[in-house]
A and B are shown apart, each in its own frame.
Chain A
Amino acid sequence: MAISNLTLGGLTRTQLLEMHYKMALLRRFEEKSAEEYTRGKIGGFMHLYIGQEAVGIGAIAALRADDKILSSYREHGHAIAKGMEPRAVMAELFGKITGCSKGKGGSMHMWSDELGLLGGNAIVAAQMPIAAGIALAMQYQGLDSIVACFFGDGAVDEGAFHESLNLASIWKLPVVYICENNQYSMGMAVEKAWAVDSLIPRAGAYTIPGEQVDGMDVIQVYEAAKRAVEHARSGKGPSLLEIKTYRFRGHSMTDPAYYRSREEEHQWRTTRDPIGFFEKKLLDLNLATQAQFDENDARAIEIAEDAAEFAENSPDPELDELYTDVMVDNSTALSFRYERK
C-alpha cells in the first residue's frame, strides 16, 4: 500500500498527466453538454457525470482495450473514458446521424462494438444481468477479456442486483461489478434506502470479494479496479466494488435537487473535487506542474467546444432511418409493407 502510494499506482508521470487530462475532458465535456442542453440543442433526459470523473477514469484505466464495459444512463464519462470520440458523443446528444448511435439513442443509449462500450441502459440495474451474460460468453469461448459493469446506488435496490451477483458468483463469471455510490438514487438518500450502510456485507452474502473505495481519489479507484480485474481475468470470478462519490449537479438536467442541502453540495464541490484532489496530490509529490494542469484544461475546453461545433454542423438522420435497424434483416413492423406510405 505505502509503496504504491509513493509511485501513485505504479503509473509514470505521462500516464498520470493523461489521467488528469481525461478527468478534465470529462468535466469540460459535461459542462459544455449542460450549456447546449440549456440552449435547446439537446433534449430528453441528460444525466451529468460532474463530480464522478475519478470513478470512470480510474476504473477504466485498469482495463484492456478488449475488455467490455456496460453502464447506466449516466454514461458520457464512461464512453469517453473507453475511447469514444467526444464528437461522436456530442453528436449523439444532439440527435445527429454522426452520433455513435446514429442519433437514435441519445444521452442514455450509446454503443461501440470496437471500443467494447456495450450500452447505455435506462432501466436501472438491467445492465447487471446482461453483463453477466457477456462475461459468460467470454468464459465459454475461452477468451480472457473481462466485463466491467457500472451502476449506481439505486441499482442496488433492484432484484436484478442480487440475482446477478448470485449468478456471477456460482458460475465464477469474469465480471467486475462497480457501484458508483453517489449517495442518492435520484432523490432517495442511500441511508434511507439501504438496510446496510455498505456493500461489503452484500458481497460477502454472495461469497465474492468486496471493497469500499473513496471515489474522489482516482488512484485509489484505479488500484481497487486493478485488483478486481486481475481477480476476474485469472478465473476467480466476480468482485463488487462500492465506490463512494458524489454528483455535483442534480440527478438530471431537470432536477432542482430539493432533497439535499445547498450546504452539502457546496461542501463536496469545494473540498472534495476529484480533479482538485488529484492536482494537489501531484503537486505535493512534484509529479506535475500547474502549467501542465492549465494546458490539459485548455485542451479539454477546446475539444469540448470542437465536439459541440461538430455536432451543430452535423446533419440530422434521413427520415427513412426511422424504419431501419429494428431487426437485422429489416423484417420489422407487423405490416411493414403496408405501414410505410
Chain B
Amino acid sequence: MRTITYRDALREAIREEMLRDERVFILGEDIAGYGGTYAVSKGLFEEFGEKRVRDTPLAEEVITGAAIGAALGGLRPILELMTINFSLLASDLLVNSAAKFRYMFGGQPHIPMVVRMPGGGGAQRGAQHSQMLESWYAHIPGLKVVMPATPYDAKGMLKSAVRDPNPVLFIEHELLYNVKGEVPDEGVDYTVPLDRGEIKREGQHVTIITFSRMLHVTIQAAEELAKEGIQAEVIDLRAIRPLDIDLILDSVRKTNRVVIAEEGWKYYGTGQGLAALIYEFAFDYMDAPVQHVNGADVPMPYSKVLERAALPNKNDIVKAVKAVVPQALVHG
C-alpha cells in the first residue's frame, strides 16, 4: 500500500483505464494543456495526445451531448464538468437523454459515459460555486450517482464507473482533492463497486450516515464521542443511486438511532430521502427520530465567517448524536 492524494488517485484511475481500453478518452474545459482546473488530468495530454485528451469550448450542453453521442457511437468518454454548479446547463442532456435512452428505446442503446464533477463548498467560492446537488440527479431513474470520499474509493469507483455500461455521475468535492489516503501499490488493478456503501467505523450506539467531504468531519466527531464512551457506527454511503439500503437497515436495526450528516441543504435533499426510507423499512427498530445535520438553508455566503457558519462541523454532529443517545445507554 502507499499513500497518495484523492486527486492523484483519480488521475491514476483515468490513466490506467485509458491504457487498458483505447475507447476511453477524456474531454472537458481546460483539461488538456491546462491540466484540469483541479489538476486531476495533469500530464495526461502530454502522454496521450489531443485525440484522447480533448479541450472543449465553454459549452456544457454540447459537450455533454457529445459525450452521450460518443458513448452511443462505441466509445467510453469521461466528461469533466468543471463543477456540479455548471452541470445545470447540461442537466437536460443528463436527465432527458442519458437517463432515458435505454428505457424509452426499448432496451437497445446503452450509454457507457462517466461525468466527473466536484460539488460542495468551503473555499469562499460564493453562492454559484458551492452547491451540493446530488439529490437532484439521484432522483432520476436511469442515472448512477456516486460520491467517493477517500482516495481508495475514488480510484476504485472511477475505474468501475468507466467499465460500467450505464451513465455514471461521479461527484467529487473541491476540498477532497488534497486529502491523503492509502491505495494499493502501482500495478495492482482493483475496483470498488458502485452500489455498496461501507462502514468506515463500527459502533453500537448510533448510526451516522454520511458521504463525500463530510465523512472526514464525521470521523472526527466519532473520535470525540468515543472519548465519552459513545461508539458511533459511521456509514460512508459512497453510492447515492443505487443505494446500499441493506447496509443502512442492518446498521439501524443494530443501533436504533440515526444521524445523517451532509453538507447540502436539508429540504428535499439526500438526507431527507434517506430518512424516509429508514422510517419506511425500519420504523419498528427506531428509538428516536432521525437527526439531520445540514448546511444552512441559504445560498452560500462569501464571507469567511459566514461561510464557516453555513457549513456543518464536527460539533454539530456531536450535538446531534447526543440528542438521541441517552446517557443511560452509554453508562447504564
Contact = CB atoms under 8 A, between A and B. Distances in A.
B102 A130 contact: no
A135 B69 contact: yes
B108 A338 contact: no
Contacts of A335: 243, 245, 277, 281
B69 A134 contact: yes
Contacts of B51: 140
Contacts of B56: 167
A128 B165 contact: no
Most buried by B among A104, A109, A333, A334: A334
A141 B21 CA distance: 13
A94 interface: no
A324 B141 CA distance: 12
Interface in A33-78: 68
A167 B56 CA distance: 8
A111 B109 contact: yes
A327 B101 contact: no
Nearest to B52: A140
A164 interface: yes
B121 interface: no
A104 B62 CA distance: 27
Range of interface residues on B (Cβ < 8 Å): 35 or more
B165 A119 contact: no
Contact of B106 (A111, A131, A327): A111
B80 to A, nearest CB: 15
Nearest to A114: B108
Contacts of A141: 73-75
A102 B103 CA distance: 10
Interface stretch (B89-97, B150-158, B227-235, B323-331): B89-97
Contacts of B102: 325-328
Interface in A106-131: 109-113, 118-123, 126, 128-131
Contact of B107 (A128, A138, A160, A325): A325
Interface string B76-104: 01000000000000001100110001111
B159 interface: no
A163 B67 CA distance: 14
A137 B107 contact: no
Most buried by A among B51, B61, B243, B277: B61
B59 A126 contact: no
Given A163-B59, A329-B166, A334-B242, A130 B72 contact: yes
B183 interface: no
A160 B141 CA distance: 24
A17 interface: no
Contact of A133 (B72, B142, B164): B72
Contacts of A140: 25, 51, 70, 73, 75
Contacts, number: 163
Contacts of A113: 108-109
A325 B103 contact: yes
Contact of A101 (B64, B70, B105): B105
A252 interface: no
Contacts of B65: 126, 128-130, 132-133, 160, 164
B142 A326 contact: yes
B66 interface: yes
A237 to B, nearest CB: 15
A256 interface: no
Most buried by A among B74, B75, B103, B106: B106
Given A126-B92, A163-B61, A326 B103 contact: yes
B195 interface: yes
A194 interface: no
Nearest to A99: B106
Interface in A135-152: 135-138, 140-141
A159 B281 CA distance: 45
B110 A167 contact: no
Contacts of B71: 133, 137
Nearest to B25: A140
Interface of A: 68, 99-105, 109-113, 118-123, 126, 128-138, 140-141, 159-160, 163-164, 166-167, 170, 324-329, 331-336, 338
Given A119-B105, A163-B62, 9 more contacts: A68-B73, A104-B105, A126-B97, A130-B69, A135-B69, A136-B70, A160-B61, A164-B62, A166-B59
19 contacts: A100-B106, A103-B106, A118-B72, A123-B92, A129-B64, A129-B69, A133-B73, A140-B25, A160-B62, A163-B61, A166-B57, A167-B56, A167-B59, A325-B103, A327-B144, A329-B165, A331-B144, A333-B141, A335-B281
